Chains A and B, each alone.
Chain A
Amino acid sequence: MREQTIKRSAVPLLLALLVPVLAACGGAAPAEPQVIRETVVVVETAAPIRETVVVVETAAPAPTAEPAQATDTSFTTPHPILGDLRVRQAIAYCTNRPELIKSVYGFLSDEQQQTLLMDTFLPQGHWALAPQESLTTYPFDAEKGNALLTEAGWLGEPGAVRANEAGSPLFLEFTTTNAQFRQTWASVLEQQLLNNCGIQISRKHAPASWWFGDTTGLSRRDFELGAFAWVGQIDPGGVSLYACNQIPFPSNNWEGQNSMGWCNEAASKAIIAANNTLNREERIKQYAIVQQEFTKDMVSLPLFNRLEAAAATNNLENFRPDSTEYVTANAAEWKLKDGGTSLVMGFTQEPASLFGLVESAAVTAMIGEFLGQSATSYSYDYQPVLLKSLPTIDNGEATNAEVEVKAGDKVWNTAGEAVELAPGVEVATSTGETVVYESGTLKLNQLTTNFSWIDGITWQDGEPLKKADMELAYAIDCNPDSGATSLVVCNSFQNVSFTSDTAYTITYLPGAQWPEYFAIGIGAYPSHLVLSDGRKLADVPAAEWATLPEIAEKPLSIGPYVIDSWEKGQRMVLKANPNYVKGEPAVKEITIKFIADSQQAVSQLLTGDVDILDATTLGAGAEVETVLKAAAEGKVQATVVASATWEHVDFNLFVR
């Protein structure tokens, strides 16, 4: 997920949302699937592929093929400029990243700017970050850059654009979005490369819908240098980004996200291994290998973390912005210094639906946290809220037992699919090796997790949480008709058993090893709820759920707040829940205003019409500076957080 619009939607959702839904198999399903290798055959269940084989009579391509591109060897010809490692390294050396940071965050102190700098694909402070000395780093060094370019055959006078012997200039196209933030640092980069090293880039600022489109821009590898942001996650993931089999080609119908075309055997093996084990030590070791190769090959130049800010009235206590959790996560603890009882928040976007299964936007998740969350995800980690504990192998609530499987058993293969074990199926064994099954038995790991809710949870109407509520959640969330986008996690369940009104056990298929298994739970829906048309919620077919106002607009809460009213296009009013299991919150009424324009939002903060603006509303633009200034003058409180989102420039190693 690259843009701030739906940023971080899934990260804290993991266990975070109970009521509209829990993410067990929802649209915002949590853990990273180990392998995202898509087979060439699109649909196994459907008709077979028609294969048109071109008769080799003339050199001309098939009549069905696109004439111009048919004969060329798509993305196998190294890029004439970027295919050369020396040029890529030169670009890295010629880029003065501190200056790029300064161009967009000039209002920060030098030390603060320094903390945003990135050398690899993990941010500073991440548990899987490789030690700096093991990485190849590229501090700004124009001399080195120039030397590398000369060595690579790109010659030229200082100040002029370099050219090769054939006389073609060192000219590259640079594609990114048209966000002002990117225009700013990209124009600085353009000047740096030209002035420091004689590399000319032409900036192409495309609409995000084109650059990130389904069949355009990045997904079709339509770039030379391409800049965008990844949203960093608590779990580093990365298989789909850096493995050899994740390179999108016309020949695999553009599956995968390794749009650089980077195939490094060692790194590819390591990234798959890192995601096939639950052992953190092992994961750190494997990720270190990936990062070493990544920085050595310089296929993608990491630039910096973005900066986020959240601001609130000075009157508010216990305001807790965080890199990996929304500000609303601790709303139950909010207090007003003057003893007031109402707060106004500004949201940049109005939720499309409060049914978290079909809607993954940040706003839905943020409102979901008011309505009850089983866990929070502060500081790159998880904390239980309405659960007794998170079931980990360490605390004994989860087990990862070795089981023997034979042909015909259902297992989870390395492609991330539930399949019957048969010759040719690729699985990861309990020792972490990837093997292709031939015959006999294999030893695989089987995960089991035991979840327990804390006692005394009731719905806002006083009805206690019960087994039927969780069963309903499992039935709906794993039903394709309900509108869930991805059912991958659901498919990896072997069995879910509900042992009491507060406890349940998930047993996974042998071979399914989600790194964040302790955060994948089942939510609850109010099975007792009677709809306005007289039907019971539990009797409504899954396909209709998204259309129900009782689900999409006014879901029942088990959290600190309940939804009181929602005036479309304007605001939503939440009231404190007297039946909340951890006690009624101090702030009795929270109004959420929908303010699309961030200037307008900041204006309202400054005039006191709004009390809280979070990072998703303030964005990465000039508004951050405005609130920091206001905070310095004592008008509001503002907190700066290094965002999990990071900017980088990808090099396309091949030409079409």
Chain B
Amino acid sequence: MTTQAIVAERPAERPVESQWSIVRRRFLRHRMAVSSLILLVVLFGASLLAPWIAPFPRDAIDLNAQFLAPMSRNPISGALHILGTDHIGRDLFTRVLYSARISLMLAVLVATLTSAIGAVMGLLAGYYLGWVDTLITRSLEFISTFPFLTILLILTSLLLQSPDLIPIPGAFVALIQYGTGVPGDEATSLALIVLALAVLSWTGTARLMRGMVLSVREQPFIESARALGASNRRIIVRHVLPNSLPPLIVDYTLAINGVLVLESALSFLGYGVQDPTPTWGNILAIAESNMLNHPWMPLVPGIPLVIAALAVNFVGDGVRDAFDPRSVLGGAGATE
């Protein structure tokens, strides 16, 4: 939560190279960030190909192959289970592969919604101040006190009882369905979780954004823009927004990281995405309850989960540095 102003360069002073290309150039020099980004893309790409490269169907149960250790062979068919099998003999490599797409998509969607709602709210509050600000900040404080688990429980029950009561736009369910590649009925409950998480967790971003705007609006160039008669909308779009973007992007990556971890915690408490839809979180939760007998199990979903979360963090770090005008250019992601 960087509430401190990151003063941007004045656009007019850089005629030669656009800001975006500078950022891109800087980001590309951050070695960890670049390799993390590549890793994420490969991971996601592989999971897109899961129906073709996975050795088994996603939910195929095999009672002759419960709790097989990694790299062991199926006692009947002799097929190789690269990462072993779970409590009902489902191939873990297959499930982890499928879940990469679901987990990452879920995280990206929640983070995107969170950032979008939060940014707009924060922007409005920070720019207009006055009663708009009061209303927005008080309501975000209000929302941040909601009992999270109770709400999830109520929503889950509603979904079971009368799914039509919950207004989830069909387009959104379709988006989830295409994004994650799960069947339609699973997509509805995923959509519900995404919406619940997004609605309940935008408050942090909004506070950050508001703080940013408050800092930026006091900068001399805003004063001069205003003095030149620029409209509110123009000031927001042309000046405030671009200057608030860097921390927002960092916040966005942190949110992705947060959702990945949160989703697994919710699964652990029994409120997360339900089996058979595989996510890293619920595979981990299942592994957790069998861990005294099969200590290797949690590592199978745990390692990709942690690596992905780490990678997201590094990307965020790279973005932050790339946007920071005062970072030493030669040093950015240099050797070491």
User: Do A and B come into direct contact in the complex, CB within 8 Å?
Assistant: yes
| Residues of A in contact with B (beta carbons under 8 Å apart) | 99, 102-103, 106, 178, 180, 183-184, 187-188, 191, 202-207, 209-210, 213, 216-217, 222, 599, 602-603, 606, 621-623, 625-626, 629
Give the docked Cα–Cα distance between A183 and B59 (Å): 12
A183→B160 contact, CB < 8 A: no
Query: How far, in Å, is A282 (CB) from chain B's closest CB?
Result: 44
B87 within 8 A of A: yes
Bound: A216/B157 CA distance, A: 9
**Are A602 and B292 closer than 8 Å at their CB atoms?**
yes
Interface size on B, residues (CB 8 A): 24
Partner of B276 from the list A103, A187, A206, A629 (CB cut-off 8 Å) is A187
A625: contacting residue among B60, B153, B286, B293, CB under 8 A? B293
A202 and B277 CA atoms in complex are apart in Å by: 13
* B292 and A222 within 8 A (CB): no
Which B residues between 143 and 181 are near A, CB-CB below 8 angstroms? 153, 156-157, 160-161
The answer to whether B215 has its CB under 8 Å from any CB of chain A is no
CB-CB under 8 A for A207 and B153, given A103-B66, A187-B59: yes
CB neighbours (8 Å) of B290 from chain A are: 622
- B27-66 residues at the A interface, CB under 8 angstroms: 59-61, 63, 66
Q: Could you say which residues of chain B place their CB within 8 Å of the CB of A602?
A: 292
**Is A103 within 8 A of B292, CB to CB?**
no
B160 touches A206 (CB 8 A): yes
A184 to B63 Cα, complex, angstroms: 10
Chain B contacts of A210 at CB under 8 A?
156-157, 160-161
Bound Cα distance from A371 to B237, whole angstroms: 75
> Which of B59, B88, B160, B293 lies in contact with A103, CB distance below 8 A?
B88
B66, B185, B292 — which one has the most chain A CB atoms within 10 A of its CB? B292
In whole angstroms, how far apart are the Cα atoms of A555 and B276 in the complex?
48
Q: Tell me if B291 counts as interface (CB < 8 A to partner A).
A: yes
Taking A178-B270, A184-B88 as contacts, is the C-beta distance between A599 and B289 under 8 angstroms?
Answer: yes
- Closest residue of chain B to A102, judged by CB? B63
Q: Which residues of A contact B66 (CB under 8 A)?
A: 103, 106
Q: Which residue on chain A has the smallest CB distance to residue B87? A: A184
- Cα A380 to Cα B149 in complex, Å, equals 41
Contacts A206-B160, A210-B156 given; indicate if A629 touches B289 (C-beta within 8 A): no
Which A residues touch B270, using CB under 8 A? 178, 207
Complex-state Cα separation, A602 to B289, whole angstroms: 11
**A648 CB, min distance to chain B CBs, angstroms:** 20
Do residues A622 and B157 form an inter-chain contact, with CB atoms below 8 A?
no
B residues near A (Cβ < 8 Å) are: 59-61, 63, 66, 87-88, 153, 156-157, 160-161, 185, 270, 274-276, 286, 288-293
CB distance from A113 to the nearest CB of B (A): 12
User: Which of A188, A213, A606 contacts B88 (CB under 8 A)?
Assistant: A188
Q: Which single residue of chain B is at the shortest CB-CB distance from A183?
A: B275
Known contacts A103-B66, A106-B66, A216 near B275 by CB under 8 Å: no
Q: Known contacts A99-B63, A621-B289, A626-B292; decide if A187 and B157 are in contact (CB<8 Å).
A: no
Closest to B153 in A: A207
- Closest chain A residue to B274 by CB distance? A205
**Which residue from A99, A106, A180 sits with its C-beta under 8 Å from B286?**
A180
Name B157's closest neighbour in chain A (CB-CB): A210
Measured between beta carbons, the chain A residues less than 8 angstroms from B61 are 103, 187-188, 191
Docked pose: A625 CA to B293 CA in angstroms: 8
Distance from B324 Cβ to chain A, minimum over Cβ atoms (Å): 44
Given A204-B160, A207-B157, also A622-B274 (CB < 8 A): no
* CB atoms of A599 and B291 under 8 A apart: yes
Give chain A residues whose Cβ lies under 8 Å from the Cβ of B288. Answer: 599
Is the pair A603, B292 in contact by a Cβ cutoff of 8 Å? yes
B132 to chain A, nearest CB (A): 39
Q: Contacts A188-B88, A209-B153; is A103 near B63 (CB within 8 Å)?
A: yes
**A178 lies within 8 A of B286 (CB):** no
* CA distance in complex: A465, B231 (Å): 90
What residues of B have a CB within 8 angstroms of the CB of A187 in the complex?
59, 61, 88, 275-276
User: Given A205-B275, A216-B161, are A629 and B293 also a contact pair (CB < 8 Å)?
Assistant: yes
* Complex contact A106–B291 (CB within 8 A): no
Known: A106-B66, A207-B153. A626 touches B275 (CB 8 A): no
**Contacts of B289 on A, CB cut-off 8 Å?**
180, 599, 621-622
